[in-house]
Structure 1
Amino acid sequence: MKDTKFSEMTTEELIKNQKTLKTVNTVFCVVLFMLFILNIFIVFMKGFSAMNVIPVALLPILFLNLKNLKEIKNELESRK
């Protein structure tokens, strides 16, 4: 996400960002889960390789998105 403060955004922008971030997070979680399953399969079939680290390396993106989603939710609740 951009380097903007959520308190400076309008309510409509926050709701739009929240919906977009929820959709992106859902798709990202599904893809990440599939990568973990595929990596387990590949480890058993071919052994460990450097490519098996990719799902673990992508986990911080998920955590950052969840943190931003929580901040948006808190900002929207504070405006009610």
Structure 2
Amino acid sequence: MKSQKIEEMSNEALLKHKKTTQLATGMLAGMLSVLLVMVVLLAIKKGLDATSIALGVIPFALMPILFLNWNNLKAIKKELNSRQNVV
């Protein structure tokens, strides 16, 4: 299924998409932060073993998704602001 372009979406759809993206981005950032703190504490408590190294890779591997969501959110906000100026 192909998603619509931001320019083609209605204001209501953009606001809904913005709210959903904000929630997903916030939750992902929170979970990645918690996992990173847990990995650091695990590494301090048990030393650098295979488990802490393997878990430590996960936050860095999922960071591009966070940045993509962040950029998408900025584009939605920009489009909403441009529509407010036109109307």
TM-score by length of 1: 0.88
In structure 2, give the amino acid aligned to 1:27: M
Matched, 1:38 2:42: no
DSSP 3-state at the match of 2:4: coil
Structure whose alpha-carbon radius of gyration is higher = 2
Runs of 4+ displaced beyond 4 Å:
none
Aligned to 1:73: 77
User: Shift in Å at residue 3 of structure 1?
Assistant: 4.3
Structure 2: runs of 5+ lacking an equivalent: none
- Quote the sequence identity (%): 42
Aligned partner of 1:12 in structure 2 is 12
**Number of residue pairs the alignment of both structures matches:** 79
Higher relative contact order (CA 8 A, sep 6+): 1
RMSD: 1.4
**CA–CA separation in structure 2 for the residues paired with 1:43 and 1:34:** 14
Does residue 51 (structure 1) correspond to residue 19 (structure 2)? The answer is no
